[in-house]
Amino acid sequence: MFSFQKKSVLICVVCIVVVTVSIITYMNVQSKPEQNVYTVVHLPANSITFSEVEKLDAFAELIVIGYATDEFSEREHVITAFDDGAMQSFHTNTNIKITKILKKPEDFPSDQNELTIIEPVSLDGDIKYTANDYVELQQGETSVIFLLRNSYGDYGLINDNLGKFSLEGVSQYSFPESSASQQISDYQIFRDAVMKKYNLD
């Protein structure tokens, strides 16, 4: 009889543990956003970069606060090739929602709240090509975005990873995983200066 009771208690304890672990696992899976895993190919690019906010502000034609409306995989990825098949250029057309305009050219409508911008990154299957280690804007993450208009009239993000700064703070998506501690520190200092300049802190 005693042995039977011990077995019953043991079975109950095991059941409770299994149910508890299942619930915790389910909740963790539900709370984590789905992140696709890509093979990242880093390519160098010639681009003008600024290490001072004032110079970046002066160079940018359009500065907005906004966020990407689509997941990275759902955006329009553009890759062009030479006749021999070698890659010529790549970028992603990213749709953003504008919540505030900080600087604009005269011909940009003051009430415009949507825009497609160019990011120096693209996707081809499960391979992500990125220029100068650029990390794409994250869906729904409100950021200060520095833009310049190209000869076709399209606005592109400038200054690589120092051309976008999340209002939510520094995260693992602010810079490449391979960044050294000094790069992370420099990014934080630059971001703080941006937040201060536009009274966003």
pTM over 0.85: no
User: pLDDT per residue over 9-47, tens digit each?
Assistant: 556 544 554 444 444 444 544 433 445 678 999 999 988
179 falls in which pLDDT band (50, 70, 90)?
confident
User: What values do phi and psi take at 137, rounded to 5?
Assistant: -60, 140
Tokens matching residue 68:
């990407």
- In terms of Cα–Cα distance, which of 33, 145, 167, 158 is closest to 96? 145
The secondary element (H helix, E strand) that includes residue 11 is helix 2-31
User: pLDDT per residue over 106-162, tens digit each?
Assistant: 999 999 999 999 999 999 999 999 999 999 999 999 999 999 999 999 999 999 999
